Structure 1
Amino acid sequence: MKALVEYIAKGLVDHPEDVQVSEQSRGRRYTKIVLSVNDSDRGKVIGRGGRVANAMRNLANVSAAKQQQRIDLEIR
């Protein structure tokens, strides 16, 4: 899941070198992914009304569901 989020985020931002993704396992079936981007790119990753962020969350959760996992994506 971490690689998927990183790939999507780097394609959206102007400063892909500033994209950092960390993964924190919380139990057997729950993982928290923290996405950090450059301040000037944060709006691009979140999108109008949070649409891009929600789409990224949905993609991550669909991918995780195949492995019976649940993902929480936090954008900083």
Structure 2
Amino acid sequence: MDEFILAIVKPIVDHPEDVRVEREEGDAEITYRLFVRQEDIGKVIGKKGRVAKAIRTVVYAAAGVHEHKKIHLQIAD
């Protein structure tokens, strides 16, 4: 799933080399933290959070097929 998130996010940012994902797994959930350069945060979030919502929708849909835990995607600032 980490590589999937990177494949979605890297094309939309100006500094794809600085994009990274950390995974934290609990008993009932998995949290992915997305880190991008400060100047790329706006591109990942988008106007009114539309891009972030779209990324989360795709990630949650893909994870639902492979994971049996609740998935969270956080965009770290």
In structure 2, distance between residues paired with 1:36 and 1:47: 15
1:16 aligns with 2:28: no
CA RMSD, aligned part only? 1.1
Q: Which runs of 5+ in 1 are unaligned?
A: none
TM-score (normalizing by structure 1)? 0.91
Report the secondary structure of 2:56's partner residue.
Answer: helix
Aligned residue pairs, count: 75
Report the secondary structure of 1:7's partner residue.
Answer: helix
Q: Which runs of 5+ in 2 are unaligned?
A: none
TM-score (normalizing by structure 2)? 0.90
1:51 aligns with 2:17: no
User: Shift in Å at residue 70 of structure 1?
Assistant: 2.2
Give the ranges of 4+ consecutive aligned residues of structure 1 lying more than 4 Å apart after TM superposition.
Answer: none
**Paired residue for 2:37?**
38
In structure 2, distance between residues paired with 1:6 and 1:70: 20
In structure 1, distance between residues paired with 2:33 and 2:62: 17
User: Shift in Å at residue 66 of structure 1?
Assistant: 0.8
The sequence identity of aligned pairs, in percent, is: 39
